[in-house]
Amino acid sequence: MEKNHMFNMSPVIENIDTLQIEGEVLKKSDVSGISASGNWVVIGSDEGSHLQVLRRNKLGFQVKEPPVHLMDFGNAKDKEVDIEAITHDGHGTFYVLGSHSAKRKKVTEDRSYRNNRKRIQVVKQEKSRSNLFRLKFDFSSMSIEDTTSTDLDIIFEQDNILKLFNNIPSKENGIDLEGIAYREEQLFLGFRGPVLRENFVPVIVTTFNNIKDYEMRFVDLNGRGIRDLVAVSNGFLIVAGPVSKGDGRFYLHFWSGQDEIPGHDRVIEKNKCIGEIPTPHPEAKAEGITILEETEEHYRAIMVFDGVDLRELPVFRILKQNNIA
């Protein structure tokens, strides 16, 4: 049943419903990754190191216990994994992406001027952020049959473009991975940053078992980076937002998956901007999307927002444009 709309209305992206969550969502104001498969939803936070599994019930979803602690499987023991995106293959295997980002130390008003001057010169790499996990869930027993992890460092160190951004803090147009989608045994990994000249945003196309065998594609999102992407028929939906933490609006795009670098010897099918994403309040940031249903006329999707306590899952109807089959 449709409820009163929570968010500002959009002619093509409309908040039509909310699904209740029974149980406690950990780090509920920082949920950044979400992926739905059948009666199950997996969520994760960019300020923690755990996944939570939600199961569909009559009112919405029930949080299942215990949470999955990714630090038990990763290649480092830092304080957080910085989960940014989650996807699945449709057969119980989920992929969880860390940001692989560097960060500059923050300045704070309770420290001295001299101390803050020192802090702003320090750039940190946290190994725990450089993880791509693969987890095989057995939902019937709420157990994990197999878990392994890898990272993308070999690509960042050797790629002619990405190696120039590898040690730059993420909010300063450095490496920052925030989107992952699965299609036909391939992973599509989308960058919030860097955004290159002419507004090109990199997308790595690879497989988990052979990360170093990859293809780089580029998409033009009008100066914004990828906050998440999800596979749909004939392409992908992309949540696009600002690279830095500054104020900015968020938009949803349809992308065929084709490289958008132009040339006189090829025809480009440019991505289409579907519309601005309505948010719960001006400070909320669209961080994750997953598809519940796709018809000839619309998508029905859940989106999650940074800065909003996740006590229920907002459901959106996204109308397909005439030129999106």
> Domain with 159 in it: what CATH number?
2.115.10
For residues 57 and 61, what is the distance between their CA atoms, to the nearest angstrom?
A: 5
Residue 68's domain spans which residues?
13-105+114-319
Query: How much is the pLDDT for 9?
Result: 54
Dist CA 254 CA 232 (whole Å): 9
Are 277 and 7 in contact, with CB atoms under 8 Å apart? Answer: no
What pLDDT shows up at residue 321? 74
| Residues composing the chain | 325
Q: Which residues fall within 8 angstroms of residue 131, CB to CB, at 6 or more apart? A: 70, 74, 75, 76, 81, 96, 98, 149, 150, 151
- pTM (2 d.p.): 0.92
Question: What's the one-letter identity of residue 158?
Answer: Q
pLDDT for the residue numbered 5: 45
Is 155 domain-assigned? yes
Domain membership flag for residue 82: yes
Closest CA to 168 of 87, 240, 101: 101
Dihedral sign from CA coordinates of 193, 196, 200, 204: negative
Asked if residue 324 is part of any domain, the answer here is: no
Q: Contact 11/313 with Cβ under 8 angstroms?
A: no
The reply to whether 4 falls in a domain is no
Query: Interior CA angle at 142 toward 139 and 148, to 5°?
Result: 85
> What's at 166, amino acid-wise?
N
Q: For residue 97, is it within any domain?
A: yes
Q: What pLDDT does residue 144 have?
A: 82
Q: Are 47 and 33 in contact (CB under 8 A)?
A: no
In DSSP terms, 126 is beta-bridged to none
Flag whether 288 is in a domain.
Answer: yes
d(CA 184, CA 166): 29
Residue given tokens 């023991």 in the structure block: 77
CA 156, 191, 86 angle in degrees (round to 5)? 105
- Could you tell me if residue 1 is inside a domain? no
Report yes or no on 128 lying in a domain.
yes
DSSP state of 189: E
Residues of the chain with pLDDT under 50: 1-5, 76, 323, 325
What's the confidence (pLDDT) of residue 100? 92
Kindly report the number of other CB atoms within 10 A of residue 266's CB atom. Answer: 9
Q: What is the CA radius of gyration of the chain?
A: 19
Q: Which residue has the tokens 């299942």?
A: 64
Helix (H, G, I), strand (E, B) or coil at 171: helix
Q: What is the pLDDT of residue 10?
A: 60
Residues of 42-78 as b/e, b for ≥16 C-beta within 10 angstroms?
bbbbbbbbbbbbbbeeeebbbbeeebbebbebbeeeb
Domain count, the chain: 1
pLDDT score recorded for residue 11: 79
